[in-house]
Amino acid sequence: MKNLRTEKAGTLLVGIGNSGRKDDGLGWKFAGLVSESANSFIDCEYRYQLQVEDVLMTCRYDKIIFVDATHEVLEDGYELKPCRVAPHYYYSSHMQSPETILYLAKELYNKEPDAFTLAITGKQWGLGTSLSPEAERNLQKAWSFFEKELFQHVRITA
């Protein structure tokens, strides 16, 4: 039997959002692009929001990429940055930040995977399943970057 507390399985991409709230679905759309690509060495998960229960899942991986939509207008339409362990834990009944998930992984399981956040700028947040034209452009820019830069890095170091 696998010991989920200690066994690692490479790279995990977590698409965060709600595909029924227009551009809030950017994280899921991005995860779908990764899942459908020929680069199947990355496992993908879809979450409406991160929860305490996701800590154990993240402990199984050496690398994690959290992908989510943002209201922030980013220069390139997306931004990839290292995700650092939060300095403390604030109790919440549901939604947790990627940094808090990493904090709990470190505190509970002594695991510190390399982690990144990929934020993609969205514009429309109402009900609907299609992305705004701006969000679609930003998704394509992020995907192009990911294919050229990140896939190569992940593959080489995985």
Burial 134-150 (b: 16+ CB within 10 A, else e): ebeebbebbbebbeeeb
Residues whose CB falls within 8 Å of the CB of residue 136, separated by 6 or more in sequence, listed in order: none
Domains of the chain: 11-157 (3.40.50.1450)
pLDDT of residue 157: 46
pLDDT on residue 94 = 64
The two most distant CA atoms of the chain are separated, in Å, by: 47
Query: Residues 7, 1: contact at Cβ < 8 Å?
Result: no
pLDDT at 55: 93
Output the pLDDT for position 121: 98
**Among 28, 104, 92, which residue's Cα sits nearest to residue 66?**
28
Separation of alpha carbons 110 and 115, rounded Å: 15
State how far the Cα of 158 lies from the Cα of 156, in Å rounded to an integer. Answer: 6
Q: Please list the pLDDT of the chain residue by residue as tens digits (158 residues).
A: 345 555 667 899 999 999 999 999 999 999 999 999 876 688 999 999 999 899 999 999 999 999 999 999 999 999 999 999 888 776 665 678 999 999 999 999 999 999 999 999 999 999 999 999 999 999 999 999 998 886 665 553 44
The three-class DSSP label of residue 101 is helix
Q: Residue 154: its pLDDT value, please?
A: 53
